């Protein structure tokens, strides 16, 4: 948790930015796995963490801007809670640590919100992503649950996005801390990347490291020889010489900040010529994207430039053909990289995706594209100092997608479909680092970059 001042100042900034109305910010509750008493690990809502820092279930915060008041709603622990789950300082004491003096039982939330509605105050709330909070808002405001999802406050959402997108130095230190664990996870994955080792063993060991160091993984681990499946959570195979292992994994640290790295390692670090060529194209794309990212440049343009590098690199290998600009216009590189170059990262691995991916990553000036591939870019707008983003180009050979494009003659002027037959068993290569935009350019969020060249990966695997 940060110092009290941090939370007080954040709420003050939010108050000034909205100017009037009543804000309801709901924390999360425990969620059942297979029966009520067997629960998933509790995860607090990230905006609640950002403004309140309180990491416990069943809390709600109300900021009454019109009357310059704020309340925390929640219940003190019962003797049963203490017997089964342990003791904690009182809620009042915990609230004081984040600068809140007015604590009320949860049962009083309805009357405070009801009075505000009755007096005509504008009520701001975020679009709920958990049914329990959707139903709670529904009850508090007397709206049906469907309407609750439509009537969320765009003003509040935009105000929060604006604040959370710019990371402070104390947040950057937390992100670097999450990065340290992510680093350790990937080094271990590389060391284990030898023939005969099961994917599940490696995934289990690296997820264990994330649990030992913090809250666990920041998203379900992607670790597979079938890296052409972008979010492959299946770990059922055993590593074989001649194949690639794509590992996209990260940790969430104790303060809930994320890391997200990808490395693709040839089993035993023995790259064949095709794998080496594709690796080096992706390496060029990640390095040039990092070199290009700086304040004022739209990330959409960095994505397009990565597509350029991929298209031209594959043209040298004989897999694509034709004019680069025309191919970029037609969206040809999306056959090989159907995802975006990166996303914002912070308290969520896809930062604030619950508030709306397009609201986070685009604005009036930079609109989201609709074309396949470009449309998947989660963050396209101009970069500003303090933005934290992933840079994660990749090249994949998805047989079903190649067959579809070939059959439908999509981008046929730019793709050598016949040459692609030899790549159906290739898998995919993705390389991903996390950057923060500075005043003059960008830097990696963490001190030490994971091995990324073929020589560095060889040393990590066999050293």
If the CB atoms of residues 192 and 258 are measured against ligand GLY, the closer one turns out to be 258
Residue 221 near residue 189 (C-beta atoms within 8 A): no
If the CB atoms of residues 260 and 357 are measured against ligand GLY, the closer one turns out to be 260
If the CB atoms of residues 303 and 343 are measured against ligand GLY, the closer one turns out to be 343
Q: Where do runs of H (alpha helix) occur along 41-153?
A: 46-52, 79-85, 91-96, 109-118, 131-141, 145-150
Least distance to ligand GLY from the beta carbon of 233, Å? 11
If the CB atoms of residues 15 and 381 are measured against ligand GLY, the closer one turns out to be 381
DSSP state of 152: -
Least distance to ligand GLY from the beta carbon of 358, Å? 16
Site for ligand GLY in 116-145 (CB under 6 A): none
Least distance to ligand GLY from the beta carbon of 287, Å? 19
Least distance to ligand GLY from the beta carbon of 349, Å? 6
Least distance to ligand GLY from the beta carbon of 58, Å? 29
SS3 content of the chain, % helix, strand, coil (to 5): 45, 15, 40
Least distance to ligand GLY from the beta carbon of 244, Å? 17
If the CB atoms of residues 69 and 233 are measured against ligand GLY, the closer one turns out to be 233
DSSP state of 103: E
If the CB atoms of residues 77 and 184 are measured against ligand GLY, the closer one turns out to be 184
If the CB atoms of residues 64 and 434 are measured against ligand GLY, the closer one turns out to be 434
Q: Where do runs of H (alpha helix) occur along 226-321?
A: 273-292, 299-316
- Count H helices, E strands: the chain? 17, 17
Residues 6+ apart with CB under 8 A from 291: none
Site for ligand GLY in 315-344 (CB under 6 A): 343
Measured CA to CA, the distance from residue 186 to residue 434 in angstroms comes to 14
Distances (CA, A) of 109 to 116, 227, 349: 11, 48, 31
Least distance to ligand GLY from the beta carbon of 434, Å? 10
Measured CA to CA, the distance from residue 336 to residue 330 in angstroms comes to 13
Residue 260 near residue 248 (C-beta atoms within 8 A): yes
* Number of residues binding to ligand GLY, judged by CB under 6 A: 4
Least distance to ligand GLY from the beta carbon of 223, Å? 11
For the record, the structure tokens of 1 come out as 């948790």
Least distance to ligand GLY from the beta carbon of 343, Å? 6
For the record, the structure tokens of 159 come out as 């105000």
Measured CA to CA, the distance from residue 309 to residue 297 in angstroms comes to 18
Least distance to ligand GLY from the beta carbon of 1, Å? 26
Residue 213 near residue 207 (C-beta atoms within 8 A): no
Measured CA to CA, the distance from residue 306 to residue 337 in angstroms comes to 10
Site for ligand GLY in 209-248 (CB under 6 A): 219, 248
If the CB atoms of residues 255 and 260 are measured against ligand GLY, the closer one turns out to be 260
CB atoms within 10 A of CB 412: 15
At CA 141, angle to CA 137 and CA 144, rounded to 5? 75
If the CB atoms of residues 121 and 376 are measured against ligand GLY, the closer one turns out to be 376
Q: Does 260 bind ligand GLY (CB under 6 A)?
A: yes
Residues 6+ apart with CB under 8 A from 36: none
Residue 334 near residue 309 (C-beta atoms within 8 A): no
For the record, the structure tokens of 23 come out as 């804000």
Least distance to ligand GLY from the beta carbon of 345, Å? 8
Site for ligand GLY in 342-361 (CB under 6 A): 343
If the CB atoms of residues 260 and 369 are measured against ligand GLY, the closer one turns out to be 260
Give which of 304, 382, 389 is closest to 346, Cα–Cα: 389
If the CB atoms of residues 45 and 260 are measured against ligand GLY, the closer one turns out to be 260
Find tokens 């590992």 and name the residue.
247
If the CB atoms of residues 252 and 260 are measured against ligand GLY, the closer one turns out to be 260
Least distance to ligand GLY from the beta carbon of 260, Å? 5
What are the two backbone dihedrals, phi and then psi, of residue 298, each rounded to the nearest 5 degrees?
A: -75, 135
Residues lying near ligand GLY in the complex (CB under 6 A) are found at 219, 248, 260, 343
């Amino acid at each position: 948790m940060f110092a009290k001042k941090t939370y007080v100042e954040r709420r003050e900034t939010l108050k000034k930015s909205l100017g009037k109305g009543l804000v309801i910010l709901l924390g999360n509750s425990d969620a059942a796995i297979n029966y009520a008493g067997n629960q998933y690990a509790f995860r607090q809502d990230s905006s609640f963490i950002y403004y309140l820092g309180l990491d416990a279930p069943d809390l709600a915060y109300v900021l009454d801007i019109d009357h310059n008041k704020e309340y925390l709603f929640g219940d003190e622990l019962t003797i049963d809670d203490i017997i089964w789950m342990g003791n904690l300082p009182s809620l009042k004491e915990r609230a004081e640590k984040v600068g809140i003096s007015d604590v009320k039982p949860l049962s009083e939330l309805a009357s405070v919100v009801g009075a505000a509605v009755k007096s005509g105050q504008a009520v701001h709330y975020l679009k709920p992503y958990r049914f329990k909070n959707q139903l709670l808002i529904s009850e508090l405001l007397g709206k049906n649950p469907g309407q609750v999802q439509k009537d969320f406050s765009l003003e509040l959402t935009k105000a929060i996005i604006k604040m959370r997108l710019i990371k402070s130095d104390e947040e950057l230190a937390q992100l670097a801390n999450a990065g340290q664990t992510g680093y350790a996870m990937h080094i271990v994955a590389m060391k284990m990347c030898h023939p005969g080792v099961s994917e599940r063993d490696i995934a289990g060991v690296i997820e264990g490291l994330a649990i030992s160091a913090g809250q666990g993984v920041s998203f379900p681990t992607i670790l597979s020889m079938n890296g052409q499946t972008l979010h492959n959570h299946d770990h059922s195979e055993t590593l074989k010489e001649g194949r690639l292992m794509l590992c996209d994994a990260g940790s969430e640290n104790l303060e809930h900040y994320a890391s997200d790295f990808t490395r693709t390692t040839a089993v035993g670090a023995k790259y064949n010529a095709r794998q080496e060529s594709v690796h080096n194209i992706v390496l060029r794309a990640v390095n040039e994207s990092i070199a290009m990212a700086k304040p004022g440049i739209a990330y959409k343009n960095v994505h397009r430039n990565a597509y350029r590098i991929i298209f031209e690199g594959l043209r040298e290998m004989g897999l694509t053909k034709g004019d680069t600009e025309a191919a970029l216009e037609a969206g040809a590189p999306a056959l090989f990289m159907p995802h975006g170059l990166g996303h914002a990262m912070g308290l969520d691995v896809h930062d604030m995706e619950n508030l709306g991916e397009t609201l986070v990553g685009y604005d009036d000036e930079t609109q989201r594209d609709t074309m396949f591939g470009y449309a998947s870019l989660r963050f396209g707008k101009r970069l500003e100092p303090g933005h934290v983003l992933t840079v994660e180009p990749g090249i994949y050979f998805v047989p079903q997608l190649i067959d579809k494009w070939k059959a439908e003659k999509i981008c046929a002027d730019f793709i050598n479909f016949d040459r692609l037959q030899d790549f159906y068993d290739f898998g995919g290569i993705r390389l991903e680092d996390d950057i923060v935009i500075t005043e003059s350019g960008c830097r990696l969020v963490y001190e030490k970059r994971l091995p990324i060249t073929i020589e560095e990966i060889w040393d990590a695997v066999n050293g």
